[in-house]
């Protein structure tokens, strides 16, 4: 079974900034060195940002990126499905997984990116955790990266790091990936196997009838 404890650390950089952000960034630096050193410049730009700016500025930067007039949304269900009713179904199912794993979501929704990342190492079903990463999270994070209007945004670089780490963790996954229809967000494959279709858990493919 692949250990996913590092996803708890990965989650911390996507939370509302606190005084501990610099510490989390240092731990990211160690993690990146075990994956791909070419990712380091993306992290260093973020580290330079938080090293020379007061916490209040860091928090404003986070809010302008993810909350007020957001460049990017951290709620994975919204990224995948937009306002489609399937987002509600996804929220119900991911909430069940959060409760089952005893993962505290705080004041955020259960599909908030940091909450899903901290859920992964707590899931008893390793196959389901892999499916969640490969079928949903990787496509969602890549879509988030693509949606950034400002390519110089420092959080875009962190999302790129996250995407590479997930891809590296599961290079040979058999799980089919969620695809985005160009006309409507959240159009998934129609030919997924029954064992995925009928799961009561996260269910990458959600029946629409």
* Residue with token string 């929220």: 91
Secondary structure (H, E, C), 177-206 = CCCCCCCCCCCCCCCCCHHHHCCCCCCCCC
Cα 30 → chain centroid:
20
* Domain map (residue ranges) of the chain: 6-197
Q: How confident is the model at residue 189 (pLDDT cuts 50, 70, 90)?
A: very low
Secondary structure (DSSP) of 92-135: HHHHHHHHHHT---TTS-TTBHHHHHHHGGG-S-HHHHHHIIII
Question: According to the model, what pLDDT value does residue 94 have?
Answer: 97
pLDDT at 197 exceeding the cut of 50 = no
Between CA 129 and CA 66 the distance in angstroms is 25
What is the C-alpha to C-alpha distance for residues 177 and 51, in angstroms, rounded to an integer? 37
pLDDT in tens, 102-122: 999 999 999 999 999 999 999
**More confident of the two residues 181 and 87:** 87
Q: What per-residue confidence (pLDDT) applies to 69?
A: 65
Please report the sign of the dihedral spanned by the C-alpha atoms of residue 131, residue 133, residue 68, residue 184.
Answer: negative
Classify domain 6-197 at the CATH class level: mainly alpha
Query: Two tokens at 94?
Result: 């991911």
**What is the band of 31 on the pLDDT scale with cuts at 50, 70, 90?**
very high
d(CA 109, CA 95): 8
């Amino acid at each position: 079974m692949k250990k996913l404890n590092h996803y708890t650390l990965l989650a911390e950089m996507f939370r509302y900034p606190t005084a501990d952000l610099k510490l989390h960034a240092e731990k990211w630096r160690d993690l990146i060195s075990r994956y791909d050193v070419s990712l380091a410049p993306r992290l260093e730009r973020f580290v330079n940002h938080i090293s020379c700016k007061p916490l209040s500025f860091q928090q404003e930067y986070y809010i302008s990126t993810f909350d007020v007039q957001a460049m990017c949304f951290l709620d994975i269900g919204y990224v995948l499905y937009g306002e489609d009713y399937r987002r509600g179904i996804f929220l119900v199912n991911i909430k069940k997984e959060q409760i089952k794993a005893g993962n505290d979501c705080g004041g955020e929704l259960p599909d908030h990116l940091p909450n899903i990342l901290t859920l992964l190492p707590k899931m008893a079903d390793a196959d389901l955790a892999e499916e969640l990463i490969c079928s949903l999270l990787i496509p969602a994070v890549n879509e988030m990266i693509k949606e950034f209007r400002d390519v110089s945004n420092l959080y875009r670089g962190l999302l790129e790091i996250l995407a590479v780490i997930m891809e590296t963790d599961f290079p040979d996954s058999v799980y089919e990936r969620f695809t985005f229809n160009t006309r409507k967000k959240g159009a998934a494959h129609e030919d997924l196997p029954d064992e995925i279709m009928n799961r009561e858990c996260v269910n990458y493919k959600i029946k629409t009838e």
